[in-house]
Structure 1
Amino acid sequence: MSALPLSGIRILDLTRVLAGPLSAQMLADLGADVIKIERPGTGDDARAFGPPYLKDPDGRANNNNSFYLCANRNKKSVTVNIASAEGQEIIRELARDCDVFMENYKVGDLKRYRLDYETIRSLNPGIIYCSVTGFGQTGPYAPRAGYDAIFQAMGGLMSVTGHMDGEPGAGPMKVGPSIVDYMTGMNSSIGILAALYHRKANGGVGQHIDVCLLDTVIASLSHWAQIYLLNGQSPPRRGTWGNGGMPAGVFRCADGELMLVAGNDGQFSRACAVLGAPELATNPKFVKNNDRVTNGKEIMAIFAGLFLKHTVAHWLEALENAGVPAGPVNDFAHVFADPQVRSRGMEVKTEHPFESHLSLIRNALTFSGTPVKDYRYPPLLGEHTAEVLASRLGYDAAKLDALKRQGVI
């Protein structure tokens, strides 16, 4: 079996909270050696984002919560106070032999510490320096801070998410998880991988990558935003209705709900037969998908009445046999108990000092030749400080002790 795809790549990760750490975790899963820099004493801001926390062996309070655990496996935690001159020098020394430098500070913050791209590039011309921010490195909003929900609102995602106008609870709605952070992390990883390839193929030239949450959420709206660019009209909120093929949405059954998407005319015809109303497939108002989109409220209301006649299990079996895409509306307990999810191994176990079998979510990439199998637990705060500074920078025990007494590490 080959080494992991990014074996030999060294990454210095100064990111905090979610988007940047998720990106660094993805690269660590793929074999990169990732050193996570944290603030002495408190660490990554995510560690204080609230419960649930792991219980340590003595039942004491700690800073290993779900927010931190989801984005920091396979890394080494090194505590460095970058507000101190000595701490800044440690970061510059570590950056000299790294391939990638990641940060998500406000625009200009690291320049006053001489940890900005120009300074780091002067020490390491081949460095790939990735900056993850809310609004990007340029533009009138560049200095602003922000979090995922702000960008769901500003980028237009909330305007097209939620119940339809006129329905109870109508109005803009946030997507549950921090989806813009996750997508920004993916974009950061893509940019870093592309820059690493460019450097290798074009003579060792590094570069600065500018990734931000606002750009990411706008780009992610794809065909929804394209509607506006095409006709100047913002699409309305459609609740659980689909974005293309119709009928598509959540339908209540005798004992719960399911999601159905009739993505083409053939699927619609077969769905009508399953529901006991084959005549709908030849009704002029519903024959073609464009007809069903035009008459969406009518066909959705008809389907809603038909689905009430039987249970979710009854309909799912019948629809699957007919080749019509449908699925249950699962909570997380059902998700991780689902036989398909279990067969794909989406829940992985790792040994943690506080939990002998800590569950994590596996990397979603599956390789035939270089599979991701190593899931090292998200490190305790500062767990690898002495190891990394001794092995990478040659610091002896006396120097490490002095730096610790000074609050530098």
Structure 2
Amino acid sequence: MKIVAITLDRLRLDLDPPLLAAWDPEPRRHFDATIVRVHTDDGVTGIGSGDTMAGFEQVEHLFLGRNPLDIVRHVKAIETANFHGGRYWPLEAALWDIVGKVAGLPVATLFGNAARSLPAYASSAELKPPQARAEAALRAREAGFRATKIRIDRDRVAEGVAAVAAVREALGPDFAIMVDLNQSWRMAGDTAAATDLAKTRELVRRLSELDVFWVEEPLPYADIDGFRTLRAENPGVRIAAGEMHPSVPELLRYLEHDVLDVYQMDVVLAVGMHRARTLAELARLKHRAFTPHSWTNGIGVLANLHVAAGVGGGPYFEFPYDPPGWTPERRDFMLAEPLMINPAGELEVPTAPGLGVELDEEAVSRWRIRSRR
């Protein structure tokens, strides 16, 4: 079997009204998605998505004519290409989709088959006043979710803490609450400094008193000592990070020095499926959790789900969900059906071979802004 072509469809969904994501410097007026298709001479096509694949045309020749099943070789090739500016992990997802289809098995089965589904948490996007956030959490629980994640802006801490308190009061002690401070990395154009360690220590203490399950990305990735300080001072709350950390050696350093309680590497944005599986296994062996970031689109959600379910990640899986600003229909506009949790609040691994991606080709054509075939 050989790779005979790699095609990219670049899609753009207009967002009206725009999404006011907490981490974006400006309102998000469109949502972009790049679909990668790896075509083989046997007629099997793999599908992946996640990062932009910008500049991939310059390295495409590294993969053409190769056996798509040679995953380790391809991972190493992607890493060399990534060093020079891109993040081409959606290509690896498409290759795993081929592996699963050839084997006749879901990719999660190939990764260990530890779980057929994972409890999902409703991962919010927007900053909302306390009452509005509590009402959104109540609606999420009605939809089946057992947990939610709330964003706190570094310039609106008091409002953020009040929102957490309102959700805790409205939903009681049995509903899990995570908090994301979005301080480990920055979107392009966001040049503000992260909140200093002293203020972050105070904030995490206040969140611990509200029985927050974890506090995510509280500090820049480089502040390893700061992360360890937060963990030591707040034994009642977990510290989570790593979603966009692209350095496997640095993540190994985190594991060696026991920096985090929860590791969150996104398999289509950060280190890929194969490497994330290795790091996740190490985290699990050290009695630490792995539950990946999954804020891309439904294809990226599925890639992360297969790895997490394969290795027994959890205890919750991130499900981007914050109606009306962010819905499964917006997130998965390129899919035949948007992904949704089951009545038990869990996201099920598709039983189809590969990743289980079913594209809506009409939607792909409608929202395509550029194609390279």
- TM tier, smaller: under 0.3
* Greater length-normalized contact order (CA 8 Å, ≥ 6 residues apart): 2
TM-score, normalised by the number of residues in structure 2: 0.25
Compare CA radii of gyration and give the structure with the larger one. 1
TM-score, normalised by the number of residues in structure 1: 0.23
